[in-house]
Structure 1
């Protein structure tokens, strides 16, 4: 190599080390133009374009560098970076593997290889790659951070937290590690600590939009709605194109029942990302809970593209029913989401049968007994059972869209589910006569995503218990604290050991005079049986409980008791206490 070439390379390198990367890229390009097979110059030209995020220009330079200097592990490692940025995962992985063949103790390549494996959804392999990076370099903060992310991918949350803590021990000013640590603490339900972690990230980097948005998530979870709104607004001010923050803010506005603002914010998200499923689903909920069903149902179809439900998509050779004539057709209606959804929407089997369809209904196995006599069903099937031939299919919650269902044309629902006559007779004998019998449900499944809003601790719920009435638990599962509080009540009968199925629960419900429940499947079952149901609703209710009314268009014998503000159950329980007094006097007369 001539002295002129050496000096030219040194000058280009000086520009690079001074941070004048764009000028350095031009200088290295001139060297390559004069000497096309100069591997080191090609490598640095590619590195400059990589730093400038000019991946399309970086790729050919690094590929040529790998050709002319095939024994340099750094070239292959940097090629892996570019290929990852271009989402060419397999080629990126191969580049890192080549770098590690040349240099097995190359910690950075092991860590970057872990990043690619995470992108590919290979969480366990990513964990192993980060761990190998740490064998090579035990105090490598970035590898510890990556390990924390990969452990989270495979839901090893406690180990994930330990990895983030180790990364922060090595690099205390590592803002992104604090942010991701907060995410893990959220998964561990350590919400106040998650807030502290996000706030530490923001102390280190006040312009960290993602941390502001995630801070909003936990503030909402803690019931600090106004503070959450401020946090989202800050995230969006920093990055006006931050769609996730905009959708999160729209969700918060919906939960604050600021529905016009929520609709507008979702519209802003969709202007940036027309296929954003979260914004579409938010819009659906805003319209449906407002009673604008014609606007809401089409957006509700986007539920299948959300993270929560996309794995539940069913694919059939037969087309989905879109509302076309059904005369002489066999249609498969299949359950989705929760048991309450199935109990509410199975009513449509009778409507489709009246249109001339032979209706196959596939439901969750626990509901088979209670749905056995559902009108309009030609064949009732358990999910996973071999399906008979059919012409069309439709998820249960897509039927309203196909029917063009609105508040104005929703048919009145008489009781469409019944308990077994003999079982009901036995339960009536068991619970006794002579007093007003009130069935109660105060909590649902703890794993339900909105359980913290709908369930009520028994110690608080018992405020509604009125002397002279007899109360019967309709639920089977109890929190430990609830079980202890229950033991002190002689006026509450607990039947969980005798409730082996929904059919048993239906028979017990049939022996009740009224059912008082939070928003659970038992409430839907009782309402579908035509039993008077008093439903306790949080300030931001599920979309099916249309706002501005104390009755339900879905169930003619249901009465809605709504929170006036987030988290405040005491006034609702007092209303029910008074209403039970009136109900008892009516029953006695």
Structure 2
């Protein structure tokens, strides 16, 4: 008959070989002989945790700790089991006791970092991992954890260094290769990220998460067909992978395969009804096809998405949803997202006022002066200024739902934004009498998430500008290469030093015969003033530019120039050049 010590040794060998059930049986045989055998109690707890029986694991390890109160390994393993049960405070106490007992216990410091990440205590997690790698610089898992924690704090360069340290120690560390790819993606080093994902998949080809992440970066590289394959593989491996469905749906929307995008979003919502990303994606698919009655309700989920979560306003007053009477009420309409959104949707204040409400409009500070005289608005305040008393509120982009608007009853709004007359009067002396005058905007904010699709290099646009018209730049900011090129183009006049706010831009726009622009706030400004706007759109446009038409129900004087295929600006600019030349000749001979 084997002794207790021999059975423990046998169980440990089985454990090390990965035969956890056999190890568990050996430990239980030990405890039948000696119920207070520390190693058997402790290691049985470890095995139970590995079998997914964490409740029992906690009991077993706590029993072991009654025999050796300060055993660091048992305390750390107790923390693992408690963490699995989401008993975070208790797990942290266990880890703290472990590292107090053994300050150089690197694995306990690393495990503690994992827990602190779960608890959202990022700075403390970083510190815990740093203690781990200081205690044992050869512990690859601690470097990996440090890379994750640094990434949580958007310290991407430091995160990358930590992952590289982990992989220098353990070159076959598949998940570290994947997470390194995620960090490289955040650094916008997309080709390097792809290589990192490929290495991860060489080591672990059945990992759905890596296939999905690979799809994300392939999409960003414009390799859409390959991204489709990657997402399809992810979902084959993990059919209930909701995040992959949502990301795949975004890709399909960008490929303008809207039927597939809608199906993927609906599949995701069937599995996870409160997935805000799927709701928002579904809203965009319906809105871009003009199905507003289907789209606007899903669009309300935008406030639950990571991008807009911090922008939600938590007023004590109720949000108006269109059901309550506004007669005699003061309603606060507040801007959200970009300046272009505010310029597009502020016109709806008139419809709210027609329901008997006194309208207070809160807008971004650069728009306050411009919108001070907006029809239907009693008071305009800038975001950050004290708000007057109000009875209810509504975000501007929630108004179509609250008002029950459809494409058929969207009111035609011509020139609802008026420039300041005195500022308009100051421009003729600068501009001269030569006509026609064409305003130009070829790029938006570089930090905009879709800027790589919507903006153009000036070198590309200038090829579509025939001689004849006077071209005036309506932008205030320039990419370095564009700024250099602009100095060599006397046919385009810069006015950025004279454009101090939107009132100055509006005054300049007032003198343009028409405006050529990519999808930016200046395009909305010009269109809201009633100016003809020729809008250059990527193949997959923003949801407000409804597919299947070259005009916009929002702006009667707008003309849409759409890419016929992904990335095909050449066709757009060829048509633009022809139309500019035709319009110039018409106006020049009028």
TM-score under structure 2 length normalisation: 0.97
Trace 1:553-568 onto structure 2 (pairs within 5 A).
553-568=553-568
- Residue 165 of structure 1 corresponds to 164
Q: Which runs of 5+ in 1 are unaligned?
A: none
Distance 1:36 1:431 in 2: 95
- Deviation of residue 36 (structure 1)? 5.1
- Residue 518 of structure 1 corresponds to 518
Q: Secondary structure at the match of 2:227?
A: helix
Residue 48 (structure 1) aligned with residue 47 (structure 2) = yes
- Residue 150 of structure 2 corresponds to 151
Query: Alpha carbons of 1:83 and 1:550: their partners in 2 closer, same or farther (altered >3 Å)?
Result: same
Residue 116 (structure 1) aligned with residue 112 (structure 2) = no
- Deviation of residue 87 (structure 1)? 2.3
Q: Secondary structure at the match of 1:488?
A: coil
- Deviation of residue 424 (structure 1)? 0.8
- Deviation of residue 8 (structure 1)? 4.5
- Residue 345 of structure 1 corresponds to 345
Query: Alpha carbons of 1:321 and 1:30: their partners in 2 closer, same or farther (altered >3 Å)?
Result: farther
- Deviation of residue 584 (structure 1)? 1.7
- Deviation of residue 372 (structure 1)? 1.0
Residue 285 (structure 1) aligned with residue 314 (structure 2) = no
- Deviation of residue 558 (structure 1)? 0.6
Q: Are 2:317 and 2:391, in contact at CA under 8 Å, matched by a contact in 1?
A: yes
Distance 1:26 1:323 in 2: 66
Query: Alpha carbons of 1:64 and 1:385: their partners in 2 closer, same or farther (altered >3 Å)?
Result: farther
- Deviation of residue 176 (structure 1)? 1.1
Distance 1:410 1:384 in 2: 31
Trace 1:377-526 onto structure 2 (pairs within 5 A).
377-526=377-526
Distance 1:19 1:140 in 2: 21
Q: Are 1:471 and 1:493, in contact at CA under 8 Å, matched by a contact in 2?
A: yes
RMSD over aligned CA atoms reads: 1.6
Trace 1:233-244 onto structure 2 (pairs within 5 A).
233-244=232-243
Distance 2:478 2:92 in 1: 49
Distance 1:14 1:586 in 2: 90
- Residue 25 of structure 1 corresponds to 24
- Deviation of residue 352 (structure 1)? 0.4
Q: Secondary structure at the match of 2:314?
A: coil
- Deviation of residue 63 (structure 1)? 2.9
Q: Are 2:70 and 2:97, in contact at CA under 8 Å, matched by a contact in 1?
A: no
Distance 2:267 2:173 in 1: 32
Deviation string 1:332-386 (CA, Å, 9 cap, x unpaired) is 1111111111111111111101110111111111111111111111111111222
Residue 64 (structure 1) aligned with residue 63 (structure 2) = yes
- Deviation of residue 428 (structure 1)? 2.7
Trace 1:8-19 onto structure 2 (pairs within 5 A).
8-19=7-18
- Deviation of residue 65 (structure 1)? 2.8
Trace 1:168-317 onto structure 2 (pairs within 5 A).
168-317=167-316
Deviation string 1:150-202 (CA, Å, 9 cap, x unpaired) is 11111221111111111111111111111111111111111111111111111
Deviation string 1:95-144 (CA, Å, 9 cap, x unpaired) is 11100011000000111111112222222221111111111111211111
Q: Are 1:526 and 1:533, in contact at CA under 8 Å, matched by a contact in 2?
A: yes
Q: Relative to structure 2, which stretch is displaced further, 146-155 or 524-533? A: 146-155
- Deviation of residue 35 (structure 1)? 5.4
Distance 1:381 1:36 in 2: 74
Q: Secondary structure at the match of 1:320?
A: coil
- Residue 72 of structure 2 corresponds to 73
Q: Are 2:58 and 2:78, in contact at CA under 8 Å, matched by a contact in 1?
A: yes
Deviation string 1:256-305 (CA, Å, 9 cap, x unpaired) is 00000110111111122111111111100000001001000111111111
Moved over 6 A (4+): none
- Residue 135 of structure 1 corresponds to 134
Q: Secondary structure at the match of 1:552?
A: coil
Distance 2:321 2:35 in 1: 61
Distance 1:310 1:528 in 2: 29
Distance 2:36 2:375 in 1: 79
Q: Are 1:40 and 1:69, in contact at CA under 8 Å, matched by a contact in 2?
A: no
Q: Secondary structure at the match of 1:408?
A: helix
Q: Secondary structure at the match of 2:230?
A: helix
Q: Relative to structure 2, which stretch is displaced further, 429-438 or 19-28? A: 19-28
Distance 1:547 1:341 in 2: 19
Q: Secondary structure at the match of 2:149?
A: helix
- Residue 361 of structure 2 corresponds to 361
Q: Are 2:4 and 2:33, in contact at CA under 8 Å, matched by a contact in 1?
A: no
Query: Alpha carbons of 1:49 and 1:426: their partners in 2 closer, same or farther (altered >3 Å)?
Result: same
Q: Secondary structure at the match of 1:346?
A: helix
Q: Are 2:8 and 2:39, in contact at CA under 8 Å, matched by a contact in 1?
A: no
Aligned residues: 588
Residue 531 (structure 1) aligned with residue 531 (structure 2) = yes
Deviation string 1:185-223 (CA, Å, 9 cap, x unpaired) is 111111111111111111111112111111111111111
- Deviation of residue 444 (structure 1)? 0.3
Query: Alpha carbons of 1:517 and 1:147: their partners in 2 closer, same or farther (altered >3 Å)?
Result: same
- Deviation of residue 315 (structure 1)? 0.6
Q: Relative to structure 2, which stretch is displaced further, 71-80 or 49-58? A: 49-58
Deviation string 1:438-491 (CA, Å, 9 cap, x unpaired) is 000000000000000000000001112111111000010001110111112111
- Deviation of residue 32 (structure 1)? 4.7
Query: Alpha carbons of 1:44 and 1:517: their partners in 2 closer, same or farther (altered >3 Å)?
Result: same
- Deviation of residue 60 (structure 1)? 2.4
Q: Are 1:440 and 1:516, in contact at CA under 8 Å, matched by a contact in 2?
A: yes
Distance 2:139 2:9 in 1: 30
Distance 1:33 1:264 in 2: 57
